[in-house]
C-alpha cells in the first residue's frame, strides 16, 4: 500500500459545482471519502469533543474503513484541523459577504452579533475551542490554529477600517490595531463564557455598544445633511 500522505491545503477558490474544493490529481471518489470523514468528525466534535474521538469511532460514524483515516489524512490531528479550517472558511465567506453588502456599519455589527448566537448553535464555537485546547501542548497544532485566528482578524480589520472612516473616528484616539484587538478579544471572551454557561452582563454590554454605534450613525447622518 502507498505510504500515507497529508493532503495539501486547499484554496477556497477551488470549488466544484457542489461547493466542494477540487485538488489537482485527486479523484471525485477520494474527495467524497474525505468529505465523509470531515463531516463525521464535525459531528463527533460536537457530541463528544476531540478527546472522545478515536479512529475506529470516526470510521464507524462515517461508515468507512478505519484504515482510510491515516491513509488519506496522515493523522487524526490533521483531519481535525481540516475540520476547523473547513468550518472557518464557510464562516469567513459569510462574514465577508455581510461586510461587503451595502448599508451602514451599524446594521452589519448587529448582524455580526446575531452570528454569535448562530455560531454557538451550529457548534462552531465548541469546535474552535476544542481544537485550541489541542494546540496548548502541541506547537504544530498551535501554529495552524493561529493561522485560523489570523484569517478572522483579517476580516475584522478590513471591516473596522471602513467603519472608522464611515463614522469619522479619530485614529489617534482609536488606533485601528487596538480597536481590532479589542473587538476580537471581546468576541472570544463572550464565546468562551457562553460555552461555560456564563452569560452575566453580556446583554448589558451588547446594548451599550449598540447605543454608542447608534450615536455614531446619527452624527454621521447629521454631518451629511450639513455638507
pLDDT of residue 124: 85
What would the pLDDT profile of 145-163 be if each residue is shown by its tens digit? 999 999 999 999 999 999 9
Average pLDDT over every residue of 33-48? 92
Per-residue pLDDT at 9 exceeds 60: no
Domains and CATH numbers, the chain: 1-74 (1.10.10.60), 77-226 (1.10.357)
Per-residue pLDDT at 7 exceeds 50: no
Q: Is residue 38 within 8 Å of residue 76, measured between CB atoms?
A: no
What would the pLDDT profile of 101-132 be if each residue is shown by its tens digit? 999 999 999 999 999 888 888 888 888 888 88
pLDDT of residue 93: 94
Report residue 16 as a C-alpha cell.
466544484
Average pLDDT over every residue of 188-196? 93
Answer with the residue of higher pLDDT: 87 or 5: 87
pLDDT of residue 54: 93
Q: What percentage of the chain reaches a pLDDT higher than 70?
A: 89
Per-residue pLDDT at 185 exceeds 70: yes
Report residue 43 as a C-alpha cell.
459531528
Amino acid at each position: 500500500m502507498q505510504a500515507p500522505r497529508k493532503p495539501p491545503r486547499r484554496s477556497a477558490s477551488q470549488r466544484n459545482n457542489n461547493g466542494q474544493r477540487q485538488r489537482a490529481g485527486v479523484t471525485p471518489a477520494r474527495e467524497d471519502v474525505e468529505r465523509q470523514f470531515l463531516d463525521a468528525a464535525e459531528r463527533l466534535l460536537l457530541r463528544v469533543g476531540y478527546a472522545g474521538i478515536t479512529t475506529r469511532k470516526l470510521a464507524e460514524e462515517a461508515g468507512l474503513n478505519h484504515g482510510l483515516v491515516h491513509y488519506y489524512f496522515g493523522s487524526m490531528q490533521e483531519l481535525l484541523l481540516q475540520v476547523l479550517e473547513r468550518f472557518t472558511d464557510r464562516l469567513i465567506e459569510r462574514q465577508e459577504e455581510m461586510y461587503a453588502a451595502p448599508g451602514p456599519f451599524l446594521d452589519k455589527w448587529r448582524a455580526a452579533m446575531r452570528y454569535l448566537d448562530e455560531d454557538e448553535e451550529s457548534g462552531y464555537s465548541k469546535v474552535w475551542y476544542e481544537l485550541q485546547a489541542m494546540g496548548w501542548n502541541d506547537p504544530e497544532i498551535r501554529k495552524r490554529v493561529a493561522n485560523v485566528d489570523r484569517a478572522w482578524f483579517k476580516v475584522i480589520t478590513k471591516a473596522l477600517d471602513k467603519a472608522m472612516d464611515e463614522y469619522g473616528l479619530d485614529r489617534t484616539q482609536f488606533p485601528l490595531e487596538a480597536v481590532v484587538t479589542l473587538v476580537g478579544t471581546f468576541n472570544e471572551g463572550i464565546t468562551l463564557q457562553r460555552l461555560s454557561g456564563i452569560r452575566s452582563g453580556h446583554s448589558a454590554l451588547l446594548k451599550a455598544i449598540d447605543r454608542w454605534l447608534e450615536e455614531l450613525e446619527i452624527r454621521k447622518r447629521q454631518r451629511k445633511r450639513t455638507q
